[in-house]
Amino acid sequence: MSDYIERFRTSERILHWVVTCSFFTLLLTGLGLYSRLFNGFFGLFGGGQGAILTHKISGIIFFFSSLYMFFNHKKDVSSFDDSDWQWIKKYGGYLTKYGVHFDIGKYNPGQKLFAVFIAAATVALGLTGIFIWFPGSFPRWIVQMSLLLHSTMFVGSIMFVVVHVYLATIGNPGTIEAMLYGDVRTLWAKKHHPKWYKDVTEENQ
Ligand code: HEM
């Protein structure tokens, strides 16, 4: 029996890293537009105009790649069963001293919430972004509301992503291998996603 099991295909990993690169480009270019405190980042993009252009281009890339990623794993992030309830009731076991076992599928409820939030934020950021991009074509109040919603979703997304990156790296050792190499250790799979492990191994028998 192999010590590894495939979690993500190459195309899924490339898509995730396209989303990640465009997200961080948006973050760097957006920070300077958000507050003068971060104007220094404009230097990375050849000045303010360069940063705005890069923000628009990476915004289009992020919008389509992020929604495509969501629809790619919509089935896994929109299902909900009794084990997910147990996970929520016990806060994912993160507050317990002793290991708690949950019969979790491909994603746990925290990951599902993150994926759904990012998809919703993508739509909201994309739509409000269009109103901000062409301010002269829409009523003033729509543009102002868009600026408010755009910044709120921007801050919310950063908070979610910080937690995501922590849990996907040092928080849960072994997880990053899924996105780097496509394969994860069977021990990791049995520990974190036992139901998914069972389903995949039965399918391949
Ligand atoms: C350096 C930054 C990032 C790292 C190291 C990272 C790492 C990972 C890893 C290892 C997984 C697989 C988790 C598993 O197999 O259970 C994953 C999944 C995922 N990532 Fe990222 N990621 C990063 C940035 C992002 C960003 C910026 C977004 C979106 C804005 C994102 C969205 C997702 C989604 C939706 C999933 C699937 C659901 C989930 O596991 O939460 N990631 N990421």
pLDDT of amino acid 181: 98
114 lines ligand 1 (CB under 6 A): yes
What domain count does the chain have?
A: 1
pLDDT digit string, tens, across residues 58-83: 999 999 999 999 999 999 999 999 99
- The residue whose two tokens read 């989303």 is 19
Give the residue, by CA position, lying nearest to ligand 1 atom 4.
165
Q: Which residues of the chain have pLDDT under 50?
A: none
pLDDT of amino acid 1: 63
Give the residue, by CA position, lying nearest to ligand 1 atom 6.
165
- Ligand 1 atom nearest the C-alpha of 177 is 10
35 lines ligand 1 (CB under 6 A): no
pLDDT of amino acid 99: 77
| Interatomic CA distance for residues 111 and 119, integer angstroms | 12
Pure H helices in 47-139: 48-72, 74-78, 82-89, 109-133
161 lines ligand 1 (CB under 6 A): yes
Q: Could you tell me the pTM of the whole model?
A: 0.94
Q: How far is CA 130 from CA 78, 133, 135, 143, in A?
A: 28, 5, 8, 9
Supply the range of the domain harboring residue 39.
4-203
Give the residue, by CA position, lying nearest to ligand 1 atom 43.
168
Tokens of 128: 């409000």
Q: What is the CATH number of the domain that holds 12?
A: 1.20.950.20
